[in-house]
Each structure stands twice: as C-alpha cells, then as structure tokens.
Amino acid sequence: SSLFYTHGTFRVRNSDEIEEFLNILKNGKIAIYGQGFSGIIADYIYQKMLVLGLDVIQILSIDPHVLKRNNLKFDLLLIISKSGETIQCLDFLKTAKELGAKTSSFTGNHNSKVSQMSDLAFYFEDHFKDDDDIFYPNPFFGYCIVGFEEIINRYFQKYNLSL
C-alpha cells in the first residue's frame, strides 16, 4: 500500500524511521519488551544486540511502573507485539514516552494502537491477525527475526563494519 515503504520483510511509514533506528542502535541505550511468543523474539533481539556490543536491556516485568521505580534510563523502547493491542505493551509505551524516550515497535498490524503510538513502527506480515492464542501456522515471528537481521545488515553497511 502507499502508506508504506517496503524493505524486504518489513514495511515502515517512512524510510527515515530505519535511519533513526540505526542511529539509536549505534549511539543510544535500547530497552526491549515482549511477552508470550513476542517475548521469545524480544529475547532473540536482546541476545543479538548483546553480541554486537550494543547498550541494551531486556524488560522482563509485566509492570510498566518498574521503569519509573527503578529510574531506568534508555533512549529507545522496542516493543514486540503481534496484535499491537496488548494492554501491557501500550502501558510500557506510555511510560517510556513520559520518561522522554523514543518508542519503536514490531507489530503485525499497522493500524494497531501500539503501531500508531510508536515513533518508529516496523510492520511485519501477519496472516492471522485475530489468532490471539497463536494456534495457526503463521510466519509473523519468523519475519520479525529475519527483518531484524535485515536491519542489522543495514547497520553493518551504514557503519562500515566488516562481515
């Protein structure tokens, strides 16, 4: 659709969002959150960022107030949410914004509240948007990993890191 710029496995509203994401990866601190199956993707991304020496934390609590209580400082919150409607994800986004951080998301629904609320929204194909139990075969989570690796490839290219 004309709303999006397609970049391989994902789409964004504006290609500048990718550049901004890459800049924050290089120069900022990232917090990652996902629960359930999305938590598995969050864990993958967290571990990959650690291997790359990036400044990253993974949020394992389901209580967004943990960010304020522990006075956590980060530049970007990355939320992974297939539906983009998970209440905890929305609460984490609101809290991160209150703390002055940028927000980003990997969702399967560009019209979702999480996607709309995110400063940087990455959209991955989800063939079963209403499948809340993740019952049906669905490549969404695989697309998230492949798309993230694609973003990391761009990171390597942008900062002339050798492969």
- The predicted-structure confidence for 37-68, as pLDDT tens digits, reads as follows 999 999 999 999 999 999 999 999 889 988 88
Round to whole Å and give the CA distance between 114 and 91. Answer: 10
Q: What is the DSSP letter of 64?
A: T
Which of 6-10, 50-54, 115-119 is predicted with the least confidence, judged by mean pLDDT?
6-10
Q: What is the pLDDT of residue 8?
A: 67
User: Hey, which bits of 21-163 come out as E strands?
Assistant: 29-33, 55-58, 76-81, 102-107, 120-124
Contact 96, 65 (CB under 8 A): no
Per-residue tokens: 139: 């490549």
Q: Is the pTM of this model over 0.85?
A: yes
E strand or H helix at 30? strand 29-33
How confident is the model over 98-123, as a mean pLDDT? 96
In degrees, to the nearest 5, what angle opens at C-alpha 94 toward C-alphas 84 and 18? 60
Residue 136 has pLDDT above 90, yes or no: no
